[in-house]
Amino acid sequence: MRMIGATVAVAMAFALSGCDTADYVTGSQASVLLVVAAINDGEVLDSDVRNGENSNVICPDTVLVSLAVRNKNPNAEAPRVPGAVLVQRYEVKYTRSDGRGAENQDVPHTIVGVLSTAVDVATSGTTEVPIEVVRRQAKLEPPLSNITGYDVVTMFATITISGQTVSGDTVTGSGSMQIDFANYGDSNETCPGT
């Protein structure tokens, strides 16, 4: 009898080990998901590395990131204050389609920034937060400082947003966007929004 029980237990262990569980179930104890719903309204960002030949103005690039907080359980009531997310941090990591990825040679350095906003649990709608996706310093260093003439370099930026629910559970969400870097020849004497 013990032999049959042990055989059944081993068979069940093998059967269950083949089951995949979604990351959002095992990666966080929070009852909600932090969703990056859109970055820059889904548009490609044209990033000007220099504002004209005679301009000393170097501008950062800021995009709007649309965030949403949704219950993992679609039948749960919303809003629930313990599930609201306090957004605290973001990271921007660059990649290229050709696989080259050495920082400060093929792509700019990964950047990290802080945020301070709250996103409530809801069944629809988003909250927009501005993220500096390309810093001024990145345009002064390789590979962006090497862009001249008619060069266009396409990269992808993965933005990861991190926060914490009011009840203390950690949540993250991420999304990606395309950035086309070039010397577009703008002659602005000030950066947009200043």
Q: Which of 107, 111, 108 is nearest to 90 (CA)?
A: 111
Tokens of 89: 């941090």
The answer as to whether 187 is a domain residue is: no
Does 13 fall in a domain?
Answer: no
Q: Looking at the domain assignment, is residue 111 inside a domain?
A: yes
d(CA 104, CA 109): 6
- Domain holding 89, by residue range, is 29-182
CB 80 within 8 A of CB 122: no
DSSP string for 121-186 = B-SS--EEEEEEEE-HHHHTSTTGGG--TT-EEEEEEEEEEEEEETTS-EEEEEEEEEEEEE----
Domain at 86, CATH number: 2.60.40
Is there a domain that residue 70 lies in?
yes
Per-residue pLDDT tens digits for 147-158: 988 899 999 999
Predicted confidence band at 29 (pLDDT cuts at 50, 70, 90)?
A: confident
| pTM flag (> 0.85) | no
CA 124 to each of CA 65, 68, 69, 166: distance values in angstroms, whole numbers, following the listed order: 16, 8, 9, 20
Number of domains in the chain: 1
Torsion sign, CA atoms 7, 12, 15, 17: negative
For the chain, state the CA radius of gyration. 22
Q: Does residue 24 surpass a pLDDT of 50?
A: no
For residue 3, tell me if it sits in a domain: no
Please determine, for residue 18, whether its predicted confidence score (pLDDT) is greater than 60.
Answer: no
Q: Is residue 189 part of a domain?
A: no
CA torsion sign for 34, 40, 46, 52 is negative
Is 175 inside a domain boundary? yes
